[in-house]
């Protein structure tokens, strides 16, 4: 049986930066409130003509280059996004695939909000272990600024744009293999986070879109509580099932939504500060891109080394959640 290994990581953040100070001129908020309640200081915002696929392409290029695998050998691409270039079709994955000049391989998007990267990691693992695919490019890419209501201070302070990508490849070496991935969802909480407009649940009855309905809406405080509970429970389960102590985790990479959530979960798991990867201050919440962008940060600053064990933990709209135990296994 083939195993699936994380070969490389790449990420891209658009050049424009929106600071807390900038936001305080747009809505009734302050740098102090945002910093204290979320830990976010700034977020990157794509240009008007820079689409989600463009962010994904930049991250994907880096991940392919760093993997040492020729792009002609990539046989599937999956994109996790809630801000696709086009709703419904074509998928952002097919657009990215074309822009990267990949062969005509299997390409599709999935929608699992902030858990998107853990979901596509699990899909890549399953395709590789079944022998159907050998080298899968997975990309979390979001232009959340396009679906954010910049008159709603409860959400606009949180979100940013960016992309992160990884190449997952077949290996015979069990030491290199992704150890385990858990994913779950509970639709009873569907109304905590949603973008109501345009689907069959809330179809357009004219070409005029109802103001605000195409933006993300969130019950922030309720979401916060469910997030802490779910993230902690999920990680405890995956560690117990695999008989791994939290002290053996070199890098705990939680979804970057809010520093207070990260801190509460880290403390509940008895993680030391140096184990927990925190990038929320500079990127905000980039949904499906947040985990690979955070892994890329520790790769680029030299903290992440070959063979080290990553624990990923995500939570998002749906509600969805997921966790993964992943050794970093570059070929070089």
Residues near ligand ACO, by CB under 6 A: 29, 33-34, 37-38, 113-114, 153-154, 157, 193, 220-221, 223-224, 227, 257-258, 261, 285, 287, 316-317
Q: Which is nearer to ligand ACO, 29 or 202 (CB)?
A: 29
Q: For the range 307-311, what are the long-range contacts, defined as Cβ-Cβ under 8 Å and sequence gap of 24 or more?
A: 307/175, 308/250, 308/251, 309/179, 309/244, 309/248, 309/249, 309/250, 309/251, 310/6, 310/249, 310/250, 310/251, 310/252, 310/253, 311/235, 311/238, 311/239, 311/246, 311/249, 311/251, 311/252, 311/253
3-state SS assignment for residue 169: strand
Point out the catalytic residue in the list 79, 255, 258, 296: 255
Check if 255 is active-site.
yes
Token representation of residue 122: 């699990």
What Rg value do the Cα atoms of the chain yield, rounded? Answer: 19
Point out the catalytic residue in the list 135, 258, 285, 296: 285
Please report how close the Cβ of residue 4 comes to ligand ACO at its closest, in angstroms: 25
Q: Which is nearer to ligand ACO, 110 or 304 (CB)?
A: 110
Please report how close the Cβ of residue 20 comes to ligand ACO at its closest, in angstroms: 9
Check if 214 is active-site.
no
- Rounded-to-integer distance, Cα 22 and Cα 130, Å: 49
Please report how close the Cβ of residue 132 comes to ligand ACO at its closest, in angstroms: 29
Please report how close the Cβ of residue 158 comes to ligand ACO at its closest, in angstroms: 6
β strands within 132-229, DSSP E: 135-143, 161-171, 180-185, 193-194, 217-218
Residue 137, exposed/middle/buried by CB under 10 A (0-12, 13-18, 19+)? buried
Q: Which is nearer to ligand ACO, 258 or 329 (CB)?
A: 258
Max distance between CA atoms of the chain, in angstroms, equals 57
Point out the catalytic residue in the list 114, 135, 197, 251: 114
Q: Which is nearer to ligand ACO, 10 or 318 (CB)?
A: 318
Please report how close the Cβ of residue 263 comes to ligand ACO at its closest, in angstroms: 12
Please report how close the Cβ of residue 180 comes to ligand ACO at its closest, in angstroms: 23
Check if 114 is active-site.
yes
3-state SS assignment for residue 101: coil
Q: Which is nearer to ligand ACO, 1 or 26 (CB)?
A: 26
β-pairing, 217-218 vs 16-19, is: unpaired
234 phi/psi in degrees, rounded to 5: -65, -45
Q: Which is nearer to ligand ACO, 26 or 126 (CB)?
A: 26
**Which strands form 251-254's sheet, in the order they lie side by side?**
180-185, 320-327, 309-316, 251-254
Q: Which residues are catalytic?
A: 114, 255, 285
């Amino acid at each position: 049986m083939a195993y699936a290994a994380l070969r490389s990581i790449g990420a891209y953040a658009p050049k424009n930066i929106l600071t807390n100070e900038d936001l305080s001129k747009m809505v009734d908020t302050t740098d102090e409130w945002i910093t204290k309640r979320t830990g976010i200081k700034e977020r990157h915002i794509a240009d008007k003509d820079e689409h989600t696929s463009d962010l994904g392409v930049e991250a994907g290029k880096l991940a392919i280059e760093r993997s040492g695998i020729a792009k002609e050998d990539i046989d599937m691409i999956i994109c996790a996004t809630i801000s696709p270039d086009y709703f419904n079709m074509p998928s952002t994955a097919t657009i990215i695939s074309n822009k990267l000049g990949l062969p005509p391989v299997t390409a599709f998007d999935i929608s699992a909000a902030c858990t998107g990267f853990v979901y596509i990691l699990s899909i890549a693992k399953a395709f590789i272990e079944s022998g159907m695919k050998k080298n899968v490019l997975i990309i979390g890419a979001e232009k959340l600024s396009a679906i954010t209501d910049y008159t709603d201070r409860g959400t606009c302070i949180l979100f940013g744009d960016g992309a992160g990508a990884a190449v997952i490849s077949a290996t015979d070496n069990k030491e290199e293999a992704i150890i385990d991935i858990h994913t779950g969802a509970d639709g009873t909480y569907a109304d905590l986070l949603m973008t109501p407009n345009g689907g069959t649940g809330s179809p357009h009855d004219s070409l005029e879109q109802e103001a605000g309905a195409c933006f993300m809406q969130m019950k922030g405080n309720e979401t916060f509580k469910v997030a802490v509970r779910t993230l902690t429970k999920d990680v405890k389960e995956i560690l117990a099932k695999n008989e791994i102590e939290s002290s053996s985790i070199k890098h705990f990479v939680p979804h970057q939504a809010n520093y207070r959530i990260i801190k509460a979960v880290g403390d509940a798991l008895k993680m030391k500060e140096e184990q927990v990867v925190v990038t929320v201050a500079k990127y905000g919440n980039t949904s499906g891109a947040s985990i690979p962008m955070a892994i890329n940060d520790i790769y680029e600053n030299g903290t992440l080394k070959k063979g080290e064990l990553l624990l990923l933990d995500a939570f998002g709209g749906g509600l969805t959640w997921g966790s993964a135990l992943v050794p970093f296994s570059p070929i070089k």
